[in-house]
Every structure is written in structure tokens, then in C-alpha cells.
Amino acid sequence: MASTADFRNGLVIEFSNDLYTITSFQHVKPGKGPAFVRTKLKNIKTGRVIDNTFSSGTKVNIARVERRPYQYLYKDDMGYYFMHKETYEQIHIEEHVIDYPEFLLDGINVEVVVHADTETVLSVELPQSVVMEIVYSEPGLRGDTATNTLKPAKIQTGSTIMVPLFVNTGDKIRIDTHERTYMERVKG
């Protein structure tokens, strides 16, 4: 058991018979009345964010969560397969648990978030950015750089992302996996 004084960003708590991550919190001490803590909680299973206010000193259960290093191996009809980087143990994970599966490349390192008490996989987190190759993109018009116009481009995993006009087929680009946006063109 912990109290609202122990809140910090990233803490996983049991709330309303589910697991939530604290994404932000603020202790408020009004001039009149008791103090309270205003929080934003993200449901680990659904990804939905809710606002909640706790009275100061409220007791909550902290869930034991571990982040384990895994490497993506392959995908088949049953789901996605990952290998633990230290024990070489392989696990199978269904698609709905993975954040942004369209950016998974063979050999990419990810963090698997596991509920330590039940050994249940809660989520798979990709790195903040990945480098992908453009396999198809319409050619941009020469000299059309006056505006920040974007065009669709197909990346090597088969997904489509919006890129600037100067990016061509064969270029490697860095993609922000959380925002699903183009970051920069990678040289070499």
C-alpha cells in the first residue's frame, strides 16, 4: 500500500479493478478545504486516459511491474514472437498488446512490460524512433518546396506514412513511433 504522497510519473497502480499508469499528477492545496491530488491515469490494457482526483493521503495499491528487454523475431498467424535478450526464452504475444506493430522489424529491441505477480504481458513498447527504408513513393515535383506539403510513402513493413516531397524511393528515414510521424532523412 502506498499513499498519494508516493505518486510519480510512470507508477502503475490498481484502480477500479484494473491497472493504470500515472501519466501526470499535481498536488493541490486550496486555501479552503482539504488538499487533493489531481491525476491523469492511462489504462494499461485499453490505452484510454482518464482524469481522477484523489483526496490527499488516500491509500492505493501499487502493482509490481517489470520491464524486460526482448528482441522481435517474427510474426505468423498466431501472433508475434519475441526472445528475451539475456535468457533467450521465446514468448508469443498477440497483436492487440503491442504498441504500433506496423513498425516492428526483425531484430528490433523492445521492452516488454510484465505484471510481476501474474507474469501477464501488459504491453510491448517500441523505441522512441526507428529507421525504415522507403519502398515506394511518388516522385516529388522539382522546385515545389514553398510549402510544407506531404505525400504518402510506403515503408518496408508495408505501412504508409506521410513524408516531405523531397523524400524518394530507397531513402532511409527516421520515424517517431509514438506519433507515427516522419522525423528526418537518414544519411548513408
Domains 2-62 and 65-110 share a fold: no
For the chain, give the mean pLDDT. 89
Given pLDDT bands bounded at 50, 70 and 90, which one contains residue 143? low
- CATH code of the domain occupying 129-186: 2.40.50.140
Please write the tens of the pLDDT for every residue from 13-22: 999 988 898 9
Exposed, middle or buried: residue 40 (CB in 10 Å: 0-12, 13-18, 19+)? middle
Cα dist. 14→19, 43, 57, 113, 128 in Å? 5, 10, 16, 15, 27
Per-residue pLDDT reduced to its tens digit, 99-131: 788 899 889 999 998 988 888 888 888 899 999
Which one, of 113, 109, 108, 118, lies nearest residue 97 by Cα? 113
pLDDT band at 132 (very low <50, low <70, confident <90, very high): very high
Helix residue ranges per DSSP H, the chain:
none
Sign of the four-CA dihedral 135, 136, 141, 146: negative
88: which 3 cell numbers?
Answer: 533467450
Residue ranges covered by each domain of the chain: 2-62, 65-110, 129-186
The answer to whether the CB of 162 falls within 8 A of the CB of 148 is no
What are the residues whose beta carbons fall under 8 Å from the beta carbon of 153, sequence distance 6 or more? 134, 136, 137, 160, 161, 162, 163, 167, 173
Statement: residue 88 has pLDDT above 90: yes
Question: What is the assigned CATH class of domain 65-110?
Answer: mainly beta
Instruction: Assign domain 2-62 one CATH number from 2.60.40.2470, 2.30.30.30, 1.10.287.1080, 1.10.260.40.
Output: 2.30.30.30
CA distances from 97 to 112, 115, 125, 183 (A): 10, 13, 9, 25
Band of the pLDDT at 179, cuts 50, 70, 90?
confident
